[in-house]
A and B are shown apart, each in its own frame.
Chain A
């Protein structure tokens, strides 16, 4: 059998879920232990950091193993038969994944299976590439179609979230390049928004009638991407720059429906935040907040009458004011929303590193860069 065992995988998720209930204090220790025994057999649970370590080490093993094999056949390998050895390597990875990692070691989402799966796919892809390079690997539309089906199959089998994301992006690429073939690129923003809307509705349906938590998580990935892409497709910066680039419009003021995209750029993030709070939808709220920042910079890119420091100060004051209002409004829980944390301790340490990274003061002798030089970036570069 290829893929994971359904019952074990389902129990893995159920066990994860009851762990959360225990943390919330909804079930007692005794109940937890009772359910722990009932939810057998299941795949082993792993911690996030251990998962990174196992992923790295498995990658080392597979690379060294394949390097070892490559060294053995280095005398007979050539341009015409390289695809065969790629398939051998892929076969090796997938066999390791199925026989050792999944069946023998009972691993699911532990880093080991991820590494073996991605390694195997990489070599299958390489084999296809070597075989079919001359036939269709020069047409973006064909590549997109190929990628879509190539990644759809393992996505269906292993229900992996990264593969889901690649598949969804391939689908977007198919629509985009198909439109290009039809000379209809001016309609691309509208088509992308429509596709995102379809993905959103499809994912919502799939999540409502969930067939299991592994499926559900993949559909959540689709949903997040749909939300992001819907905003990106209507963002004025993306549209104007791509129009100039791809439609050959020399002057950015001549982009068709420009005013419409400005409206989208302002309204979509606001709508995301509003509905995110109203429907308690974490994805909408998170992306909405990010989109606000992106929108500010997109619009400023074309309308920079105001100097940067004023934008920073006004923006900063505005954000602080918003937070202040939110803190006042939610002094007590209202409308099912709270400002109290779910879980705190660990994340505060991450936050302290991000603060150090973005507000840090390195140029100390003159001390002048302190707070002055390093702003923005949202602190995404913290290497925790």
Chain B
């Protein structure tokens, strides 16, 4: 700051009084600990709900556990009631919580609700053997809460729960590891869920209902769609035909990135697209003679990556030109 200011002043690009004005603005700018407070709150909620979960888990067969479970239920209820009392009313626009505190109280309410509900199902079989109900009901409840209180974290949890109701493990870490996309049923579930999420996201932005949720829906849709396609490609006969499904997925991702100036979507679409195209080329190239193929392969990667570089830089220029 000071260095740039001195340079601009010494080169005569700005006037003395402007420089002083900027310097005071810089010195008066308060130091923001917003993210620190959020992190501490987040860690607090995580530890607390982890501790409560562990306590139930360890005491599941002992006498005192009814008390503990009741306490957790009450904790959840009071946290949610508190949110109802303090949070702004529902609006289709983005609503701001009056302070970070409320976001995390909601999170605490949600996690303790899930622990509570899970316990009831485990101990008393409230949903009987209809395990689906035990997932979809909390998922719907979480969807409701995320819209009511405008909370992206709860929305993400709700989508994850909803996906697990459909049979797909859907946290960022497990998307690749825990799903076996070599079964047709799982692939078609993944693709239809992806399409559903994309349509939902589109609906939100189009009707201007919580338009800022669109990103989250699209993000899940893009990753799930691409990975399901990839799984189908590597495990089925004529897999390369499945890869054609990437074209609409990546294309839509690209269009969205251009529309919203989202560099993240641009990068992700480009990576999935590049993997898809390379897969096709490699499939064709392995048909040729071995040594010749190696040369062609290296040649392909050089040329394609040069095109990739050009594409990314052009897109970047286009997006920053505004």
| Bound form: Cα–Cα A42–B172 in Å | 38
How far apart are the CA atoms of A330 and B38 in the complex, in Å?
A: 14
Q: Which residues of A contact B21 (CB under 8 A)?
A: 26
- Contact check, A309 vs B51: say whether CB atoms are below 8 A apart: yes
Nearest to B157 among chain A residues (CB) is A356
Residue among A282, A318, A348 making CB contact with B44, cutoff 8 Å: A318
Which residues of B have CB within 8 Å of A339?
A: 32-34, 37, 99-100
Does A317 lie within 8 Å of B48, measured CB to CB? yes
Q: Are A68 and B160 in contact (CB under 8 A)?
A: no
Chain B minimum-CB-distance residue to A351: B153
Answer yes or no: A112 CB below 8 A from chain B CBs: yes
Q: In A287-327, which residues have CB < 8 Å from any B CB? A: 289, 293, 308-324, 326-327
Query: For the complex, what is the distance from the CA of A18 to the CA of B298, rounded to whole Å?
Result: 43
Q: A342–B36 Cα gap in the complex (Å)? A: 12
Separation of A383 and B274 alpha carbons in the complex (Å)? 19
| Contact partner, A364, options B30, B104, B164, B298, Cβ 8 Å | B164
Cβ contacts A to B, 14 pairs, < 8 Å = A13-B4, A38-B13, A50-B316, A53-B266, A61-B305, A64-B297, A321-B44, A322-B44, A336-B30, A338-B34, A339-B100, A340-B34, A362-B178, A364-B164
Q: Are A67 and B33 in contact (CB under 8 A)?
A: no
Binding site for A on B (CB under 8 A): 1-4, 7-8, 11, 13-14, 21-22, 25-26, 29-58, 99-101, 104, 107, 111-112, 114-115, 117-119, 121-122, 131, 134-135, 138, 152-153, 155-157, 160-161, 164-165, 169-174, 178, 212, 215-216, 219, 263-264, 266-267, 270-271, 274, 294-295, 297-299, 301-302, 305-306, 308-309, 312-313, 315-316, 320
Q: Is A210 an interface residue (CB 8 A)?
A: yes
Q: Which of A350-384 contact B (CB under 8 A)?
A: 351-362, 364-376, 378-379, 381-384
A24 to B25, CA, bound (A): 9
Which of B1, B25, B47, B153 gathers the greatest number of chain A CB atoms within 10 Å? B47
Contact B100 A316 (CB under 8 A): no
Complex Cα distance, B40 from A286, in Å, reads 11
Hey, which chain B residues are within 8 Å of A308, CB to CB? 51, 54
The number of chain A residues with a CB under 8 A from chain B is 110
Which residues in B have their C-beta under 8 angstroms from that of A349?
152, 215-216, 219
B29 touches A24 (CB 8 A): yes
On whether the beta carbons of B101 and A323 are closer than 8 Å, the reply is yes
Query: A371–B316 Cα gap in the complex (Å)?
Result: 41
A204 to B4, CA, bound (A): 18
Instruction: Name the contact of B42 in the complex, choosing from A71, A330, A355 (C-beta under 8 A).
Output: A355
Q: Given A64-B302, A333-B30, A371-B114, verify A365-B171 contact (CB < 8 Å).
A: no
Please state if B309 and A58 are interface contacts (CB–CB under 8 Å).
Answer: yes
In angstroms, how far is the closest chain B Cβ from the Cβ of A285? 6
Cβ-neighbour of A313 out of B55, B122, B298 (below 8 A): B55
> Is there contact, CB below 8 Å, between A341 and B35?
yes
Whether B51 pairs with A14 at a CB distance below 8 angstroms is no
Does A206 have its Cβ within 8 Å of any Cβ on chain B?
no
Question: How many Å from the CB of A358 to the closest CB on chain B?
Answer: 6
| CB <8 Å contact, B44 and A358 | no
Q: Given A320-B41, A323-B101, A352-B153, A315 and B47 touching (CB < 8 A)?
A: yes
Q: A202–B264 Cα gap in the complex (Å)?
A: 38
Nearest CB in chain A: distance from B175 CB, A: 9
A365 B135 Cβ-Cβ under 8 A: yes
Query: Closest chain B residue to A72 by CB distance?
Result: B295
Cβ-based interface call for A47 (8 A): yes
Contact status A14-B4, CB under 8 Å: yes
Contact of B306 among A61, A341, A359 (CB under 8 A): A61
A327–B44 Cα distance when bound, in Å, is: 14
| Contact between chains at A368 and B122 (CB < 8 Å) | yes
B44 touches A323 (CB 8 A): yes
- Flag if A353 contacts B114 (CB, 8 Å): no
